[in-house]
Structure 1
């Protein structure tokens, strides 16, 4: 039912959490499990905790990097138990689920869950368009990763029952790998025109990533922006001749 929706676990340390995640997903009709550098997988504990969702474990995709896991995705949410010092677009599960259901009709989407004890790093969040935060008891706010997956999976399933609430755009949204190539091109150009000092980058690229991720660029918009960057590079190189 939701073959374009990926649940991505990053560096999961306990295989039982992978199995419990598979069970939570299958309960809500999700089937696409991606594992980024799991500490131990496959494992008997994963199969035991899956409780009948072994088929999801059998076809789980194991990736070497988060970039690989979200390649081709037009929308990526990073689940976070804590709010970050650098503001990032933020949604609660119900709001995020509506966006996911709307977007998955056109291209794959992903919800990324971090390590059991430390969550996602700031660098990993750069792969995400937005954060999804589950409101909890402020004095005890850390959810088990499989429990967090269950909450998001439930909200996605309920949003799916309500149907699509937005009209699809004429141009498809740019995928995560297309956006990543744009960011690489942007950084290269900013260095070349001497707007960005690579020895003192500060927060510039992180803030620009936040800006463009919030915009959710379409393919044609990325092509336009990269065309502008290429023209800027040509002008900079002509001045040096």
Structure 2
């Protein structure tokens, strides 16, 4: 193994086990190492980790590592084969990813339609998603080795996709199907915790607001009309937090200080 790859971190032991673990991405004759790294990154973001390379032009390669951008573990675990026949030797189901309709070979299916069947097959064993060379795609012979042909319904006037982009889209459809359209979302954001304002907090704010509006001449206490009820409705649309009440009252305090200062200067 390339020392640069061997020194990289291993796969996280806490990774969620999913049906996607039996789905292998096979890149046939990739010509650019950057695309290999970008494909590895695309796979990992969607929860796939098994990569097989058929006769890559350059691999291992520093550019592949650079483009993997955090998915180096996928490259570390990658299998390199001399032929597609060897790459598919232990699979029970192979899917050719191709935008071209072939006279021979399986009837093409859209990626979203094919995803449930691919995952169902993965329940029984190893499944391969076969992507072709960046320039020529898959040959007819390679497509005929697969049980299904899947395409991405891109713009018919310009359907050319970068290899890594195609990998990302297919893996995305599989991820959606694997989790019934609602994949788990883990966020690193820590929500700001502030207790909700009590009724007393809110009522003191309304009293403070009314006092300042009167002092500034914005509210005529003799003809208040519906201003205060409308303001109550406005603030009542959300659950005010105590910190938010403190901010609002701080603004009102600043207004009162300015009024007092102007009065003293006269």
Q: Same fold (TM over 0.5)?
A: yes
Structure 2: runs of 5+ lacking an equivalent: 1-17, 182-266
Per-residue deviation, 1:11: 0.4
Q: Is the 8 A contact 1:92 1:135 kept in 2?
A: yes
State the distance in 2 between where 1:96 and 1:49 align.
29
**Helix, strand or coil at the partner of 2:99:** coil
**2:100 pairs with 1:79:** no
Q: Is the 8 A contact 2:22 2:122 kept in 1?
A: yes
Per-residue deviation, 1:86: 3.0
Larger Rg: 2
Aligned partner of 1:101 in structure 2 is: 119
**2:69 pairs with 1:51:** yes
Give the TM-score of the pair, scaled to structure 2: 0.60
Per-residue deviation, 1:88: 2.7
Q: How does 1:1-241 map to 2 (within 5 A)?
A: 1=18, 2-86=20-104, 88-162=106-180
State the distance in 1 between where 2:113 and 2:135 align.
26
1:58-117, Cα deviation, whole Å (9 max, x unpaired): 110001110111112121110112112336321111122111111111110011000001
What stretches of structure 1 move > 2 A for 4+ residues in a row? 85-88
Aligned length: 163
Q: Is the 8 A contact 2:26 2:53 kept in 1?
A: yes
Per-residue deviation, 1:130: 1.2
Q: Is the 8 A contact 1:35 1:60 kept in 2?
A: yes
RMSD: 1.2
Q: Is the 8 A contact 2:104 2:144 kept in 1?
A: no
Q: Is the 8 A contact 1:72 1:108 kept in 2?
A: yes
State the distance in 1 between where 2:159 and 2:128 align.
23
State the distance in 1 between where 2:105 and 2:71 align.
37
Structure 1: runs of 5+ lacking an equivalent: 164-241
**Cα separation, partners in 2 of 1:87 and 1:31, compared to 1, 3 Å:** closer
Q: Is the 8 A contact 2:54 2:81 kept in 1?
A: yes
State the distance in 1 between where 2:95 and 2:172 align.
16
Give the TM-score of the pair, scaled to structure 1: 0.66
